[in-house]
């Protein structure tokens, strides 16, 4: 089974850096995704980590430590449009296929 | 062109009714999914199909019946709707394990179901 934890809410200032943490416990880990979801919209892909270390993509970076069951999403130079929910999701390989199990999401509010 | 399209976007209906939500993807993906997002924004898998075959069936009441006529379509039929079924239902698709998997799921825009 899966247990994925992330903070419910965070607030940060425009131009700042924010780190959103995610911890997970799983029996069949095959990778970790971060998705962004604006209110009333579908989740959209941000990043994927399967090996330990940091993946950088523009203003967004994602880190994974498989031994610690830990990941974080780092957002730099925050913009107002970054206000959204950020979903940590673990890819689990089940008996017949694969599935993403999502955390409850972190609602990020970016303020002036 | 919309990659994963769901219809309808909004659905308001009375308790006890039967309704369907349709989903189509034009990405050539082999696997499709239904997820339910409740009022607390928790996104939970319901079903997955791979090439028209049911792969994952989480603990979902049997009032919910998915149907996949071909690998580009996955529909969700709900019988005897209840108040607790009110949620946003997302369809998604993905490639099979391979280089394309690292991009994860592509989601449809969601169907907001309200049962009154």
Q: Report the pLDDT value the prediction gives residue A1, as an integer from 0 to 100.
A: 47
Whether the CB of B43 is below 8 Å from some CB of chain A: the reply is: yes
Tokens of B34: 């239904």
On whether the CB atoms of residues A76 and A17 are closer than 8 A, the answer is yes
Q: Is A85 close to B103, i.e. CB distance below 8 A?
A: no
Distance (Å) from the C-alpha of residue B88 to the closest C-alpha of chain A? 9
Q: Residue A97: which of B55, B104, B109 has the nearest Cβ?
A: B55
User: In degrees, to the nearest 5, what angle opens at C-alpha B109 toward C-alphas A97 and B19?
Assistant: 80
More confident residue, B99 or A68: A68
* Spatial distance between the Cα atoms of A95 and A104, rounded to a whole number of angstroms: 24
Cis peptide before B88 (omega within 30 of 0): no
Whether the CB of A79 is below 8 Å from some CB of chain B: the reply is: no
Average pLDDT score, chain A: 93
Q: Residue A99: which of B45, B101, B110 has the nearest Cβ?
A: B45
On whether the CB atoms of residues A5 and B42 are closer than 8 A, the answer is no
Pairing of strands A44-49, B64-70: unpaired
For residue B95, what pLDDT band results from cuts at 50, 70 and 90? confident
- Cα-atom radius of gyration of chain B, to the nearest Å? 14
* Spatial distance between the Cα atoms of A110 and B79, rounded to a whole number of angstroms: 42
Q: Is A94 close to B56, i.e. CB distance below 8 A?
A: yes
- Average pLDDT on A13-29 reads 94
What confidence tens digit (pLDDT) does each residue in A30-67 have? 899 999 999 999 999 999 999 999 999 999 999 999 99
Three-class SS state of A25: strand
């Amino acid at each position: 089974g899966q247990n994925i934890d992330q903070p419910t809410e965070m607030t940060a200032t425009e131009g700042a850096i924010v780190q959103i943490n995610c911890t997970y416990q799983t029996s069949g880990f095959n990778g970790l995704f971060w998705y962004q979801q604006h209110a009333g919209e579908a989740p959209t892909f941000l990043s994927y980590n399967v090996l330990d270390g940091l993946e950088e993509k523009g203003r967004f970076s994602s880190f994974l430590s498989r031994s610690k069951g830990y990941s974080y999403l780092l957002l730099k130079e925050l913009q107002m449009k970054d206000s959204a929910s950020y979903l940590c999701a673990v890819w689990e390989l089940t008996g017949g296929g694969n599935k993403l199990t999502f955390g409850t999401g972190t609602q990020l509010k970016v303020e002036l | 062109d919309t990659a994963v399209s769901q219809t309808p976007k909004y659905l308001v209906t009375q308790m006890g009714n039967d309704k369907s939500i349709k989903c189509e993807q034009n990405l050539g993906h082999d696997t499709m999914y239904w997820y339910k997002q409740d009022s607390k924004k928790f996104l939970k898998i319901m079903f997955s199909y791979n090439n028209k075959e049911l792969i994952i069936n989480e603990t979902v009441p049997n009032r919910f019946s998915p149907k996949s006529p071909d690998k580009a379509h996955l529909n969700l039929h709900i019988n005897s709707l209840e108040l607790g079924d009110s949620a946003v239902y997302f369809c998604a698709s993905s490639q099979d394990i391979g280089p394309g998997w690292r991009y994860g799921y592509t989601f449809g825009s969601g169907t907001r179901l309200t049962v009154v």
